[in-house]
Structure 1
Amino acid sequence: MYAMKYMNKQKCVERNEVRNVFKELQIMQGLEHPFLVNLWYSFQDEEDMFMVVDLLLGGDLRYHLQQNVRFSEASVKLFISEIAMALDYLQSKNIIHRDIKPDNILLDEQGHAHITDFNIATLVNQCTKITTVAGTKPYMAPEMFYPRGQICYSFGVDWWSLGVTAYELLRGRRPFHIHSSSAATDIVHVFHTATVTFPPAWSKEMVSLLHKLLDRNPEERISCLKDLQNFSGLSDINWDAVLQKKVIPQFTPTKGRLNCDPTFELEEMILESKPLHKKKKRLAKRVKDNGKNRAAMNGNLQTHLDNVERDFIVFNREKSKQDLSETQEDTSEAQTKDEDGQNNNL
Structure 2
Amino acid sequence: MINITKLIKQRQQYTTILEDNSKLYIRPIDELDEITFSGEYLIQKNGKLKKKLIQFYEHIMVYSKKKHLNILNATLLLHLTNLNEIEGLKFIKSGNSIELYNNASELYLYVRKYCIQREIPERYKITQTIYYGSNATFLQLESTLYIKTFHVAKIYEKQNYTTQDQISGIKKEVQILRQLQHQHMSNLVEIFENDDLIFLIMEELKGESLQTILENQQYLNENQIKLIMKPLFECVAFLHSKNIFHRDIKPQNIKFRHSDNYLEACLIEFSLADYWNKNGRYLFTRCGSVGYVAPEVLQDKKYILNIDVYSLGIILYILITQKHPFEDLDKGKKILRNYNGQVDYSILQCSQILLDLIKKCLEVDFTKRLSCQEILSHPFFSNRIPKLLSFKIKDQKKSTQIKTQRGQNFHSVNNLAYDQSTNSLSQSKSPSSFVSYRHSLTLQKQKTVFPEISIFQPKSKYFLTKNSQYESLN
Q: Fold match, TM over 0.5?
A: yes
Which of 179, 182, 185 is equivalent to 1:30?
179
For 1:214, the aligned partner's letter is L
Residue in 2 aligned with 1:118?
Answer: 270
Quickly say closer, same or farther: Cα 1:68–1:14, change in 2 above 3 A.
farther
Larger deviation: 270-279 or 55-64?
270-279
Determine whether 1:214 maps to 2:362: yes
In 2, the alpha carbon distance for the partners of 1:107 and 1:179 equals: 30
Amino acid at match of 2:383: D
For 1:59 and 1:177, locate their aligned partners in 2 and report how far apart those are by CA, in whole Å. Answer: 24
- Structure 2 counterpart of 1:55: 204
Distance 1:162 1:45, change over 3 A: same
Contact 2:205 2:255 in 1 (8 A): yes
Contact 2:184/2:265 (<8 A) preserved: yes
| CA distance in structure 2 between the aligned counterparts of 1:13 and 1:122, rounded to whole angstroms | 21
Bigger shift: residues 24-33 or 67-76: 67-76
1:187-336 equivalences under 5 Å are: 187=337, 190-191=340-341, 194-199=342-347, 201-225=349-373, 227-236=374-383, 261=447, 271-274=457-460, 276-279=462-465
Q: TM-score, normalised by structure 1?
A: 0.65
Alpha-carbon separation, structure 1, partners of 2:336 and 2:266: 32
- For 1:156 and 1:264, the matched residues in 2 are separated by 26
The correspondence for 2:192, drawn from 16, 26, 43, is 43
Distance 1:264 1:210, change over 3 A: closer
Aligned 8 A contact 1:176 1:190 in 2: no
Q: Contact 2:295–2:340 at 8 Å: present in 1 too?
A: no
The aligned counterpart of 1:6 is 155
Q: What residue number does 2:248 align with?
A: 99
Residue number in structure 2 paired with 1:291:
none
**Alignment check: 8 A CA contact 1:20 1:119 kept:** yes
| More displaced stretch, 170-179 vs 55-64 | 170-179
Q: Which position in structure 2 is the counterpart of 1:80?
A: 229
1:71 aligned to which of 220, 242, 266: 220
How far did residue 27 of structure 1 move?
0.5
Contact kept, 8 Å, 2:254 with 2:268, in 1: the verdict is yes
Distance 1:90 1:185 in 2: 27
Structure 1, residues 158-196: CA drift from partner, whole Å, max 9, x if none? Answer: 0000000111122221112368943797346653xx342
Q: CA separation in 2, counterparts of 1:187 and 1:269?
A: 31
Identical aligned residues as a percent: 24
Aligned length: 257
Is the 1:130–1:154 Cα contact (8 Å) retained in structure 2? Answer: no
Task: Give SS of 1:155's match.
Answer: coil
Name the SS of the counterpart of 2:303 in structure 1.
Answer: coil
SS at match of 1:153: coil
Contact 1:39–1:53 (CA under 8 A) maintained in structure 2: yes
In 1, the alpha carbon distance for the partners of 2:228 and 2:450 equals 26
Q: Matched residues in 1 for 2:238 and 2:361: separation?
A: 18
Q: Is the 8 Å Cα contact of residues 99 and 136 (structure 1) preserved in structure 2?
A: yes
* CA positional deviation for 1:133: 1.2
- The Cα shift of 1:119 comes to 0.7
2:51 equivalent in structure 1 = none
CA distance in 1, matches of 2:448, 2:336: 36
Assess if the C-alpha contact under 8 Å between 2:246 and 2:273 holds in 1. Answer: yes
Partner SS, residue 162 of structure 2:
helix
Provide the C-alpha distance between the structure 1 equivalents of 2:450 and 2:265, rounded to a whole number of angstroms.
23
Q: Is the 8 A contact 1:61 1:103 kept in 2?
A: yes
Q: Of the candidates 182, 198, 203, which is equivalent to residue 332 of structure 2?
A: 182
CA offsets per residue over residues 290-323 of structure 1, 9 Å max, x none? xxxxxxxxxxxxxxxxxxxxxxxxxxxxxxxxxx
- Kept in 1, the 8 Å contact 2:326–2:338? The answer is no
Q: Which whole-Å CA distance do the structure 2 matches of 1:19 and 1:201 have between them?
A: 45
What's the offset of the Cα at 1:234?
2.6
Q: Is 1:166 the counterpart of 2:166 in the alignment?
A: no
Q: 1:37 to 1:285 in 2, by over 3 A?
A: closer
> Distance in 2 between the 1:171 and 1:33 partners?
30
Taking the aligned partners of 1:285 and 1:100, their CA distance within structure 2 comes to 38
1:24 alignment partner AA: E
Structure 1 runs not aligned, ≥5 long: 238-259, 288-346
Larger RCO (CA within 8 A; separation ≥ 6): 1
Give the aligned CA root-mean-square deviation in angstroms.
3.3
Residue pair 1:136, 1:180 contacting (<8 A) in 2 also:
no
| Higher share in helix | 1
One-letter amino acid of the counterpart of residue 142, structure 1: P
- Partner amino acid, structure 2, of 1:49: I
For each residue in 1:199-251, what CA deviation from the matched residue of structure 2 results, as whole angstroms up to 9, or x when unmatched? 463122111111111111112222221x12332233226xxxxxxxxxxxxxx
Structure richer in strand, relative to its length: 2
Partner secondary structure for residue 90 of structure 1: helix
Gaps of 5+ in 2: 1-149, 385-445
CA distance in 2, matches of 1:279, 1:14: 29
Q: Deviations over 1:261-309 (max 9, x none)?
A: 35989x769944446452599x98985xxxxxxxxxxxxxxxxxxxxxx
